[in-house]
Chains A and B, each alone.
Chain A
């Protein structure tokens, strides 16, 4: 994995960010996420509940998929640079689906060092599970040069 983009000058508008390929979600992973997050909704862990809800079985927690988006943001840029993360949940995710997170630099503001990126989480067929954006604040190399 490439080192994080640390300085404002390393980023340009329109720049594609390295894709994050996640392993397929497993039912065991959903159980672990349910325990860790405290989300006990059986829609994510009990097949019959997922079927009755019309999903054909269990579905992933939306916030787990947002966790993938957050992983993408904080591997691409240093964690401490993250100022905000916003997502819209578009489609449900079934276990077994490998998801891809991609993103692009949308805006770069020299005034405050803010970099706004758009991101998408998609399955192998290209269906969008989540779309969102995040903002990081990056220091300038120039400011760090000894005077």
Chain B
């Protein structure tokens, strides 16, 4: 069960090395044609040292480098079948480029319960800080993970 004591608690961290090919596959799956993600010359013309990771690449760092969705659910003691991704926010502090070794440190910043017609919903706020090999924080993510009550069958 989720409990209020877990607020402020660190979740297991993880390390991920950013690869050029991972960035390419990621933006091609989205269908984003911006050449700064795939063409180093185009990225340099925009002032970057190399191609850069696109704005939602943090999810690949989480899922390829970290414990993934199942691991997150286990850490929060929630049932994956009842979990919804409610909100996601990123703050961009510095570029992420191929070869960067990113250390991600997630923690639970808030846990709230809401009573509704279908029972109790639990909302987890998770904040993850991503730091590169130079010790610079490049990205901060905040997400809301919702566990629906056991009785509900509705779909978002």
Chain A contact residues, CB within 8 Å of chain B: 22-23, 29, 32-33, 35-41, 53-55, 62-64, 66-68, 70-71, 73-75, 78-80, 82-92
Contact of A54 with B25 in the complex, beta carbons under 8 Å: no
The answer to the question of B47 belonging to the interface, with a C-beta cut-off of 8 Å to chain A, is yes
Task: Point out the residues of chain A lying under 8 angstroms from B88, CB to CB.
Answer: 62-63, 66, 86-87, 89
Interface members, chain B 53-74 (any A CB < 8 Å): 54-56, 59-60, 62-64, 68-69
Residue pair B30, A68 in contact (C-beta under 8 Å): yes
Q: What separation, in Å, do the CA atoms of A67 and B26 have in the docked complex?
A: 9
- A67–B59 Cα distance when bound, in Å, is 10
Tell me what chain B mostly uses at the interface: helix, strand, loop, or mixed.
mixed
**Can you report 17 residue pairs joining A to B where beta carbons are below 8 Å apart?**
A33-B30, A37-B26, A38-B62, A53-B155, A54-B155, A67-B32, A70-B30, A79-B55, A80-B46, A80-B47, A82-B92, A85-B55, A85-B56, A85-B89, A87-B87, A89-B87, A89-B88
Which residues of B lie under 8 Å from residue A35 when comparing CB positions?
25, 29
On chain B, which size bracket covers the interface? 35 or more
- B41 contacts partner chain A, Cβ-Cβ < 8 Å: no
Contact B60–A36 (Cβ < 8 Å): yes
Query: Max chain B CB contacts within 10 Å: which of A36, A41, A67?
Result: A36
Expressed in whole angstroms, the Cα–Cα distance for A39 and B30 within the complex equals 14
B84 to A, closest residue via Cβ: A89
Interface centre among A40, A64, A67 (most CB of B within 10 A): A67
Q: For B112, what are the chain A residues with a Cβ–Cβ distance below 8 Å?
A: none
Distance between Cα atoms of A32 and B90 in the complex (Å)? 23
State the Cβ distance, B118 to closest chain A Cβ, in Å: 14
The chain B residue with its CB closest to the CB of A71 is B32
A29-B31, A71-B32, A89-B87 known; A40+B68 contact, CB < 8 A: yes
Given contacts A41-B69, A71-B30, contact A80 B48 (CB under 8 A): yes
> Which residue of B has the minimal Cβ distance to A67?
B30
Q: Are A86's CB and B87's CB within 8 A?
A: yes
In the complex the two chains form, is B29's CB within 8 Å of A29's CB? yes
